[in-house]
Amino acid sequence: MTKHYLPATPETVHWGYFSRTLAPVLTIRSGDSVTVESITHHANDDYERMIAGDPAAEKIFLWTKDEKTLRRRGAGATEGPFTHGAGEGLGVHLLTGPIAVEGAQPGDVLEVRVIDTYPRPSANPAYKGRFFGSNPSANWGFQYNDLIEEPKKREVVTIYELDMGEASVTALYSYLWTSQTDPDGIVHPTIDYPGVRVDHATVVKKEGILSGIKVPARLHFGTMGLAPAEADYVSTIPPNYTGGNMDDWRIAKGARMYYPVAVAGALFSCGDAHASQGDSELSGTAIEISLTGEFEFILHKKADLDGTVLEGLNHPLLENDDVWSVYGFSVANYLTELGPDHQSEILKRSSLDGAMRDAFRKLRRFLMTTQKLTEDEAISLMSVAADFAVTQVVDANWGVTGTIRKSLFAGR
The HSE-up count of residue 251 (CA atoms within 13 Å, CB side) is: 32
Instruction: Report angle CA 97, 103, 108 to the nearest 5 degrees.
Output: 90
- Asked, for residue 97, whether it belongs to a domain, the answer is yes
Residues of the chain with pLDDT under 50: none
**Coil, helix or strand for 55?**
helix
pLDDT digits (tens, 9 = 90+) for 224-266: 999 999 999 999 999 999 999 999 999 999 999 999 999 999 9
- Asked, for residue 300, whether it belongs to a domain, the answer is no
- Asked, for residue 403, whether it belongs to a domain, the answer is no
Cα separation, 406 vs 404, in Å, equals 7
Residue pair 40/50 in contact (Cβ under 8 Å)? The answer is yes
- Percent of all residues in the chain with a pLDDT value above 70, rounded to a whole number: 100
Task: Dump strand ranges (E) for 184-237.
Answer: 187-188, 205-207, 215-216, 220-226, 234-235
Closest CA to 133 of 66, 50, 18: 50
- Asked, for residue 276, whether it belongs to a domain, the answer is no
Cα separation, 286 vs 247, in Å, equals 8
Range of the domain at 77: 3-216
- Asked, for residue 279, whether it belongs to a domain, the answer is no
- Asked, for residue 42, whether it belongs to a domain, the answer is yes
- Asked, for residue 69, whether it belongs to a domain, the answer is yes
* Helix-, strand-, coil-residue percentages of the chain, each rounded to 5: 15, 30, 50
Burial category of 324 from C-beta neighbours within 10 Å (exposed 0-12, middle 13-18, buried 19 and up): buried
- Asked, for residue 336, whether it belongs to a domain, the answer is no
What is the domain count for the chain? 1
pLDDT on residue 1: 87
pLDDT on residue 89: 87
